[in-house]
């Protein structure tokens, strides 16, 4: 028994001298919208050699886009961002097919899962696709946003979804085969995961059939403002009835004491659309409707999302731009929003009951 305590002391001393396990390194390659590799590190605070440079890993949090709360700060930053060459041609090009909610997908290189975010909800397009194919796909509802894709952890998937949604556009995300990614050349880690994705902002539009035409329809802005309540991210709404309009109206004017009367709409003959652009860090953001057309029986809204010019003087208060649009034509179950500068689709609103 007299040897037990000295032996225990030696074991404790040896344990204290044992080499510390390296941190976990997770790389997320984001092509298209960022063309950057985001490297997240996990574990205990320390100094660490990454890409030939000593970095300091500390506990902390960040509100920066794509930040993961459980990741360590790297020299005070939520991740290491490294530029990567764009993919040319893009792995997939997804387009809207007129007169339908189906999509057309042209595949230029092999991809795994492909998902679509329409500005409000997530949809699965395919589980995998081979290069050199063009196919028509029917979007199927997908739960949990981007979770379960590639080797993304749930917090990383949520951070990626949050960052992409804050851009205010619909998008298509394709997971790239792991074999096509250049692995990070780091050996002193306890775990290494890597996921590559390609992100297409908005949708393209399949060329209209010969003889198709666009018809301008009468419209007006019912109301718009900068301080909606309850919309942290962009949302597109096709209003179905008077009660839904009243609910949205008071959310839009939620920061004001004096709310204008809610207009009365004949929903059997007219359409009301609401766009909430989500929370913005300053003033200077806004929404401008440029036009409304019916093309091949579908409703299109040309919508410009404005943001402050670099160096512009703006209020530093958080804002939340919104607009409610009245279209003097009824009978639509879906409305497509597009950027009038390039014709890309940025969002969609669908009728709900």
pLDDT range class, residue 11, cuts 50, 70, 90:
very low
The pLDDT of residue 4: 52
Structure tokens that stand for 69 in this block:
């709360």
pLDDT range class, residue 209, cuts 50, 70, 90:
very low
- Nearest residue to 171 (alpha-carbon basis) of 197, 207, 206, 144: 197
- For residue 1, pLDDT beyond 70: no
pLDDT range class, residue 161, cuts 50, 70, 90:
very high
The pLDDT of residue 12: 45
Report the predicted TM-score, pTM, of the whole model to 2 decimal places. Answer: 0.74
- For residue 187, pLDDT beyond 80: no
Among 94-98, 142-146, 267-271, which is the least confidently predicted range?
A: 94-98
What are the CB-based long-range contacts (under 8 Å, 24+) for 312-318?
A: 312/284, 314/282, 314/283, 314/284, 315/282, 315/283, 315/284, 316/282, 316/283, 317/282, 317/283, 318/279, 318/280, 318/281, 318/282
Separation CA 221–CA 289 (nearest Å): 8
The pLDDT of residue 20: 66
Separation CA 55–CA 264 (nearest Å): 61
In this predicted model, which residue has the larger pLDDT, 207 or 103? 103
- For residue 27, pLDDT beyond 70: yes
- For residue 188, pLDDT beyond 90: no
Q: Where are the domains of the chain?
A: 23-206, 214-350
- For residue 15, pLDDT beyond 50: no
What would the pLDDT profile of 213-231 be if each residue is shown by its tens digit? 678 899 999 999 999 999 8
110 phi and psi angles, rounded to 5 deg: -55, 140
Determine the average pLDDT of the residues in 285-296. 90
The pLDDT of residue 313: 79
Peptide bond before residue 308 is cis, with ω within 30 degrees of 0: no
Among 43-47, 284-288, 296-300, which is the least confidently predicted range?
A: 296-300
């Amino acid at each position: 028994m007299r040897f037990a305590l000295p032996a225990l002391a030696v074991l404790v001393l040896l344990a204290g001298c044992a080499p510390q396990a390296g941190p976990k390194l997770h790389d997320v390659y984001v092509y298209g919208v960022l063309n950057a590799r985001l490297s997240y590190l996990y574990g205990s605070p320390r100094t660490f050699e990454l890409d030939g440079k000593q970095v300091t890993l500390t506990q902390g949090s960040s509100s920066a886009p794509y930040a993961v709360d459980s990741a360590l700060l790297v020299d005070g930053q939520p991740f290491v961002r490294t530029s990567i060459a764009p993919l040319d041609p893009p792995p997939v090009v997804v387009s809207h097919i007129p007169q339908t909610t189906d999509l057309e997908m042209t595949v230029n290189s092999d991809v795994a899962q492909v998902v679509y975010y329409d500005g409000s909800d997530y949809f699965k397009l395919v589980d995998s696709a081979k290069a050199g194919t063009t196919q028509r796909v029917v979007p199927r509802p997908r739960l949990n946003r981007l979770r379960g894709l590639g080797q993304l952890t749930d917090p990383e998937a949520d951070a990626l979804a949050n960052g992409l949604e804050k851009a205010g556009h619909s998008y298509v995300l394709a997971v790239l085969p792991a074999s096509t990614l250049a692995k990070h050349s780091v050996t002193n880690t306890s775990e290494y995961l890597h996921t590559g994705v390609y992100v297409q902002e908005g949708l393209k539009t399949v060329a209209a059939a010969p003889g198709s035409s666009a018809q301008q329809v009468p419209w007006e802005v019912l109301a718009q403002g900068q301080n909606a309540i309850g919309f942290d991210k962009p949302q597109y709404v096709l209003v179905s009835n008077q009660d839904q309009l009243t609910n949205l109206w008071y959310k839009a004017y939620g920061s004001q004491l004096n709310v204008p009367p809610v207009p009365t709409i004949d929903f059997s003959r007219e359409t009301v659309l609401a766009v909430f652009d989500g929370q913005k860090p300053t003033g200077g953001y806004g929404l401008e409707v440029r036009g409304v057309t019916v093309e091949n029986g579908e409703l299109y809204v040309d919508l410009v999302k404005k943001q402050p010019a670099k160096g512009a003087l703006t209020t530093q208060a958080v804002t939340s731009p919104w607009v409610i649009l009245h279209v003097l034509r009824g009978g639509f179950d879906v409305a497509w929003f597009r950027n009038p500068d390039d014709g890309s689709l940025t969002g969609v609103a669908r009728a709900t009951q």
